Structure 1
């Protein structure tokens, strides 16, 4: 197995003295994660929790939007407005999710989300808990990610400023002083550049993040935070050893996401990728292909038809355990579609060769992200002319650990610290 070139996770110790003479004040023992139900956002929070040494000592809350039916077209509204509008529609028309027909003429139903065991985020209740448990349990660390969580996280800070430390992941557009720290990728500041302003209609500029340069409480990252740290990949390497260790080398892992409004592609890119993979198969010992939840069937179908009988290629069908972490641990190289900041960030943290396809189709700040990766030498465009057995070295992305370090420093400046061991 090729070594996983990852730095050890931070140990959370910054030599902060017990300034409260052994009392619990100032020692953070627990965290609350405010999620929005989207894996891309929540995984960033959970990755940060891991890096801070608080795994197993956190609770997950979610900001719940109405789902199904007409709600599909209302996600651009603030959550509070969306809920009021949904309630209004239900009073007049009944359950709005049953009043809109799908493409097949059948009514769209609200799907079961499986979130019944996760509490809805209530800023007042969480702030009350932070105040009431402060003397016994110390401060509360709150980590939130995604646009829908901004109002809840900032309200918790407003209701209990002396009892919480609030971290907002992804840029909250304005009034960054509502949070103790904001963690956001550098490409979120692309809208401030002259070139970006030419792409944005004047009337929309005030809604595009951000409105001012980063301040002292802003931590800039290259990519997205994630859970694929050293310990996670070491565990995955062991868990997937029997299935992946014996595969002929080099092992090429191909991760395919899905088109977005800022990175559009379809059957044309799928055909291009299939052709390129055929051209490099001679240099591969084995190839494993995975699709994401966002991958259109018309894209996956082309690749499945092309490689379903090829002896070197295995295509994960979505059944059984997800091999994603195992792939990150055991792969010798990656080919990844440009639409996924998360998948690219994870792969670029391994120190292994990462090839990107479709970056020329990305626009706006996502094109800036691709440019940043290329300039750092962590990715190269996939051309179909590569020898996968060849490698190159680069400085691995280490955004999650670096963000955790910044949190620890900010806490120390406040006289607080994280208790990383409960022994």
Structure 2
């Protein structure tokens, strides 16, 4: 059996004030509060940073939720607070039992307001600024400062308000560029390609009269930590645990094992059946050097894409297509795969795969535009983390690179910033 190769855990020596101050009460952070928006790809970034800081067992998840169902599906462009007020007014007009007509398929859907609603996460706490600020102030003397980590557009106003109202009691980290003044947060962690609009090439693509509306408009300042991709929860310890947990299922498979992760088209990476056909043709060639191929889809994968792949590849003896019914094999794939093929649309999927140090091949990068071009250029040319998937690759030949570890690097910067403030973090 070919041994699996997992990256060694990085040095995690905390950077902070000298140990002589460890006994201090008011400057030691022992707990974290995560503010999410209900999207796993976004929330995993915050949880991944908290994990890298050693506070996974001492975190609480709050969530900013929007009203869902009915006309609310067309109101997601509004600020969250305004959206909720408008939803309240509509409810007064139509009544709580009134059903609104949804244009998509002429389907009737009742409105939901519960936090987590139809996703079964009603136990997640609602991100109420006043309650969070009161808790941070009231528990400060006993439990010390509170680390607040938020990610996603809908969390920006909540995180900035917490910083404004309880600046002496909290350290607020916003992941992903907030598109507002950066001094409203203690730290902003965002990928380097978010600053693509400032490059000369990007400026050429934007009409002069629109440039003032494109953000960010200023270079990163001292509040900003730039990453290559997205922070996440997958580290060497998680991979080793997954290798053990999925041993019985993956160890017997013929090697090399190629894992194919298929996302879905986005505004900046548009594709459809055309990419599926390209993938099928390329896999047909690569199969000669593969022992096993496992294909998985994301929640964003269009049905027309998954259907054609199932039709063309579902009965091949070397290929297994995950149907989404079994326990999610994602961690097992990361631990046991010898190589990956990933569609170009997902920063998160690529960031996680590149954290393994194993070969990562990208398909569809030529269909991406705007800042995604910069992201793929960074992965491919500057870091040597990925290669384009052509189907001509010999999967039995391996190559490697220093694993991408944005969460750990960002965590080190959090330690530095806390030390400058006279605080430290003690897991």
Short-chain TM bin: over 0.9
Query: Aligned pair 1:382/2:389, yes or no?
Result: yes
Find the aligned partners of 1:229 and 1:197 in 2 and give their Cα distance: 37
Find the aligned partners of 2:11 and 2:408 in 1 and give their Cα distance: 6
The residue aligned with 2:376 is: 370
TM, length-normalised to structure 1: 0.95
Q: Secondary structure at the match of 1:104?
A: helix
Query: Aligned pair 1:318/2:324, yes or no?
Result: yes
Q: Secondary structure at the match of 2:106?
A: coil
Contact 2:256 2:338 in 1 (8 A): yes
The residue aligned with 2:352 is: 346
Contact 2:197 2:215 in 1 (8 A): yes
Pick aligned residue for 2:262 from 256, 260, 264: 256
The residue aligned with 2:420 is: 413
The residue aligned with 1:208 is: 214
> Runs in 1 of length 4+ with deviation above 4 angstroms?
18-21, 201-204
Q: Give the direction of change, closer, same or farther, for the CA distance of 1:72–1:9 in structure 2 (3 Å limit).
A: farther
Aligned-pair distance for 1:15?
5.9
Aligned-pair distance for 1:394?
2.1
Aligned-pair distance for 1:21?
6.9
Find the aligned partners of 2:179 and 2:97 in 1 and give their Cα distance: 31
Q: Secondary structure at the match of 2:267?
A: coil
Contact 2:71 2:102 in 1 (8 A): no
Q: Secondary structure at the match of 1:144?
A: strand
Query: Aligned pair 1:100/2:101, yes or no?
Result: yes
Aligned-pair distance for 1:20?
4.8
Q: Give the direction of change, closer, same or farther, for the CA distance of 1:379–1:182 in structure 2 (3 Å limit).
A: same
Of stretches 339-348 and 111-120 in structure 1, the one that deviates more from structure 2 is: 111-120
Query: What are the ranges of 5 or more consecutive residues in structure 2 without an aligned counterpart?
Result: 112-116
The residue aligned with 1:133 is: 139
Aligned-pair distance for 1:413?
1.4
Pick aligned residue for 1:192 from 189, 192, 198: 198
Pick aligned residue for 1:280 from 282, 286, 299: 286
Q: Aligned ranges for residues 15-414 of structure 1 at < 5 Å?
A: 16-18=17-19, 20=21, 22-94=23-95, 98-110=99-111, 112-202=118-208, 204-375=210-381, 376-414=383-421
Q: Secondary structure at the match of 1:344?
A: helix
Find the aligned partners of 2:241 and 2:347 in 1 and give their Cα distance: 24
Q: Give the direction of change, closer, same or farther, for the CA distance of 1:172–1:97 in structure 2 (3 Å limit).
A: farther
Of stretches 160-169 and 193-202 in structure 1, the one that deviates more from structure 2 is: 193-202
Deviations 1:357-392 (A, max 9, x none): 000111101111111111121111111111111122
Aligned-pair distance for 1:216?
1.0
Deviations 1:266-299 (A, max 9, x none): 1111111111111110100101000001101110
Q: Give the direction of change, closer, same or farther, for the CA distance of 1:97–1:70 in structure 2 (3 Å limit).
A: farther
Find the aligned partners of 2:57 and 2:17 in 1 and give their Cα distance: 23
Find the aligned partners of 2:3 and 2:271 in 1 and give their Cα distance: 33
Q: Give the direction of change, closer, same or farther, for the CA distance of 1:203–1:79 in structure 2 (3 Å limit).
A: farther
Q: Secondary structure at the match of 2:417?
A: helix
Contact 2:15 2:412 in 1 (8 A): no
Question: How many residues are aligned here?
Answer: 420
Query: What are the ranges of 5 or more consecutive residues in structure 1 without an aligned counterpart?
Result: none
Find the aligned partners of 1:283 and 1:177 in 2 and give their Cα distance: 53
Find the aligned partners of 2:380 and 2:282 in 1 and give their Cα distance: 20
